[in-house]
Amino acid sequence: MNFCDECGSMMKADDEKWVCGSCGYEELRDSATEQAMTTTQGQEGTTVVDMSDVDAAEVGPTVEQKCPDCDEVRTVRYEMKQIRSADESETRFFTCTECGKKWREDDH
């Protein structure tokens, strides 16, 4: 990925040059620089991970939290993911280890 020196927009590769779609600025491509770039090419597929033999206690961190279905404080597994824009806080996903109920919490 390359960014335009004139306007800062992302440029697209067009044969031997980079072309800015916003302002039309062009610059020659440099293969040595492009070798150092990280790409998503070849990363399209997903792999399913078999977790059936893993003990539930080994799957992620746990915390004591009130389960909405059990209506009691239970041990729950949690994970945090950034699902909104980068300036928003992460969303916490919980799974009750007793009943399997899943829910999420967002900061408002």
Task: Detail the residues annotated as belonging to a binding site.
Answer: 4, 7, 20, 23, 67, 70, 96, 99
Residue 88 Cα distances to 11, 78, 82, 91, angstroms = 27, 19, 8, 9
User: What residues form DSSP beta bridges with 76?
Assistant: 63, 96
Which two tokens mark 64? 């004591």
Task: Detail the residues annotated as belonging to a binding site for Zn(2+).
Answer: 4, 7, 20, 23, 67, 70, 96, 99
Q: Specify whether the CB–CB gap between 16 and 28 falls below 8 A.
A: yes
Q: In Å, how far from its chain's centre is CA 51?
A: 21
